[in-house]
Amino acid sequence: MPQTRSGRRGAALGLLVLGGTLALIGCQQLAPTATLATANEQPLVVRAQPAVMAPLPAPVDHAGLPLGMAAARPSGEFEPLVRPTPQPTAAPTQVPTAAPTAEPTVAPVYESGIASTYGEGDGFEGNRTACGQIFHTSVPQVAHKSLPCGTHVRVEDTDTGRTVEAEVTDRGPYVRGRIVDLSWGAFRELEPNGPGLLHVNVYVLDNDND
Residue ranges covered by each domain of the chain:
5-47, 109-204
pLDDT digits (tens, 9 = 90+) for 96-124: 677 666 665 667 899 999 999 987 777 88
Say yes or no to pLDDT of 31 above 50.
no
Give SS3 for 202: strand
What's at 72, amino acid-wise?
A: A
| pTM, to two decimals | 0.49
The CATH topology of domain 109-204 is Barwin-like endoglucanases (2.40.40)
| 17-45 mean pLDDT | 52
Core vs surface per residue 12-34: b (16+ CB within 10 A) or e: eebeeebeeebeebeeeeeeeeb
Give the bridge partners for 118, in sequence order.
183
Would you state the pLDDT for residue 67?
58
pLDDT digits (tens, 9 = 90+) for 144-189: 999 999 999 999 999 999 999 999 999 999 999 999 999 999 999 9
Distance linking the first and last C-alpha atoms of the chain = 172
